[in-house]
Amino acid sequence: MNKKILITGGCGFIGLNFVNYILKNKKKISLRILDNFSNKNKKRVSKILDAIGFKETDGCQIIEGDIRDKKICKKSLEGVDEVVHLAANTGVNQSMKDPISDLNNNILGTLNLLECSRNTNIEHFVMASSGAPIGLGHPPFNEKKLPKPISPYGASKLSAEAYCHVYSKSFGIKTTILRFSNVYGPYSFHKTSVISSFLKNIILKKQITIFGNGSQTRDFIYVDDLISAIVQSSRNKESGGIYHIATQKESSINRIIQILKKEFHEKEDYSINVKKLDKRIGDVQRNFATINKAKKNLKFKPKISLVCGIRKTIDNFIEYKKYL
Ligand SMILES: NC(=O)c1ccc[n+]([C@@H]2O[C@H](COP(=O)([O-])OP(=O)(O)OC[C@H]3O[C@@H](n4cnc5c(N)ncnc54)[C@H](O)[C@@H]3O)[C@@H](O)[C@H]2O)c1
């Protein structure tokens, strides 16, 4: 084994896809997951880890614990070369209900991990951020836009970004901050994002709900494209840099429904039942980001089309139907 990567939140949606990617493509990397199973999905996670070939004896290890626990973080970082920091409170709505819990997990958790990484041999620390620090404005967004978050989640991610920058400039840890757009793909069964919740409802024969007329747009990125950006970022020379990881394409909710109708048309068992409700207060109409900086510095190039990514995600959701 040449390199050891610690993945915090490795049992979540993006974490499991990252683990899958490394096991398939980078045989010489060993993996350690640190996750507190706050998503309460142990049974499903262990089924997925089995299916993707994560065996605890094979350079793969899981530590059940919390990123806010200093002892656990120190133990988790032993012998580690790179950190992919994904663990977080991930929902805007959840952060609105409990901003303090959001702060604790996303700011103090990140700070604890960074602090435990000081005076170690960590070569690179990647932090998962989001478009939420940016706040309102006219898309496309880029890294130069002054962040003005409008949710506690956005504020906590912005603060965590700032600490990554501090630890890069003052303590010499090479950090990279990746602002993910709307990620979709396999193993996202528990997520409440548009594509995941639509798919789950269709497969469970429930109605899907659109708020407003469906013309609102988002920048949907397939998880494998996102993972290529995480992997490429370790070769990047800049430390403390922020990069938007997106597709630079805006797709409306109506377009997603159109794709789903076409894809499910050939599957006899499923039909799509759409319920329309009033537009939600605070829902932005358009959202997408430019990726020129990531293209240039990380050689990032998203490859998977929306149709192809949705098709792969449908197949995965149907395969795991009994775990939805
Ligand atoms: N999914 C997206 O569309 C999206 C978009 C932007 C940013 N992100 C960011 O990417 C990261 C991963 O997101 P995801 O969609 O995989 O979320 P997820 O909820 O599926 O996974 C998060 C994982 O972190 C673990 N976790 C949470 N708090 C923890 C703690 N204190 N200690 C240890 N483990 C903890 C959870 O148990 C879970 O397994 C998050 O930081 C999120 O904010 C995700």
Q: Give the pLDDT of residue 306.
A: 98
Please state the length of the chain: 324
Confidence label for 58 from pLDDT (cuts 50, 70 and 90):
confident
Q: Which atom of ligand 1 is nearest to the CA of 153?
A: 43
Ligand 1 nearest atom to the CA of residue 131, by list position: 6
Mean pLDDT within 47-64 = 94
15 lines ligand 1 (CB under 6 A): yes
Q: What are φ and ψ of residue 34, in 5° steps?
A: -120, 115
Q: Tell me what pLDDT residue 208 has.
A: 96
145 lines ligand 1 (CB under 6 A): no
**Kind and range of the H or E element at 21?**
helix 13-25
Model pTM score: 0.98
Atom of ligand 1 nearest to the CA of 45: 39
CA distance 316 to 260: 14
Q: Which residue is closest in CA terms to ligand 1's atom 11?
A: 86
Report how far residue 60's alpha carbon sits from residue 305's, in angstroms, rounded to the nearest whole number.
Answer: 32
**3-state secondary structure at position 305:** coil
pLDDT 10s digits, 258-297: 999 999 998 878 999 999 999 887 788 999 999 999 999 9
The predicted pLDDT at position 1 comes to 64
**Of 86, 104, 230, which is best to mutate to test ligand 1, by the most ligand atoms within 8 angstroms of its C-beta?**
86
Task: Report which residue type is found at 98.
Answer: D
For ligand 1, say whether the CB of 37 is within 6 Å of any of its atoms. yes
DSSP label of 193? S
Ligand 1 centroid to 283 CA: how many Å?
A: 22
| Count of CB atoms situated within 10 Å of the CB of 294 | 27
| The pLDDT of residue 54 | 96
Quick one: pLDDT at residue 319? 96
Confirm or reject: Cβ of 175 under 6 Å from ligand 1: no
Q: Which two tokens mark 247? A: 């597709």
Answer whether 214's CB lies under 8 Å from 259's CB.
Answer: no
The alpha carbon of 137 and the centre of ligand 1 are apart by a number of angstroms equal to 25
User: How many angstroms is it from 50 CA to the middle of ligand 1?
Assistant: 20
Catalytically active residues, by annotation: 153
Positive/negative CA dihedral, 197, 289, 25, 1: negative
The closest of 25, 42, 112 to 33, measured between CA atoms, is: 42
CATH class name, domain 3-184+222-248+286-302: alpha beta
> Long-range contacts made by residues 55-61, C-beta under 8 angstroms, separation at least 24?
59/1, 59/29, 59/30, 59/31, 60/19, 60/23, 60/30, 60/31, 60/32, 60/33, 61/30, 61/31, 61/32, 61/33
The CB of 105 under 6 Å from ligand 1? The reply is yes
* Among the listed residues 107, 87, 105, 111, the one whose alpha carbon sits nearest the alpha carbon of residue 33: 87
Say what the pLDDT of residue 80 is. 98
HSE of 122, CA atoms in CB hemisphere, 13 A: 31
Distance 315 CA to ligand 1 centre (A): 23
Beta bridge partner(s), residue 176: 126, 241
Residue 262 one-letter amino acid: K
| Average pLDDT of the residues in 86-114 | 96
Q: Label residue 242 by pLDDT band (50, 70, 90).
A: very high
Res 104: pLDDT: 98
**Cβ–Cβ < 8 Å for 218, 182:** yes
CB-ligand 1 contact for 155 (6 Å cutoff): no
Smallest CA-to-CA distance from 249 within 302, 319, 299 is with 302
Q: Which residue's entry shows tokens 């932090």?
A: 127
Give the Å distance between the CA of 88 and the centre of ligand 1.
5
Alpha-carbon distance of 87 to 103, in angstroms, equals 13
Domain locations along the chain:
3-184+222-248+286-302
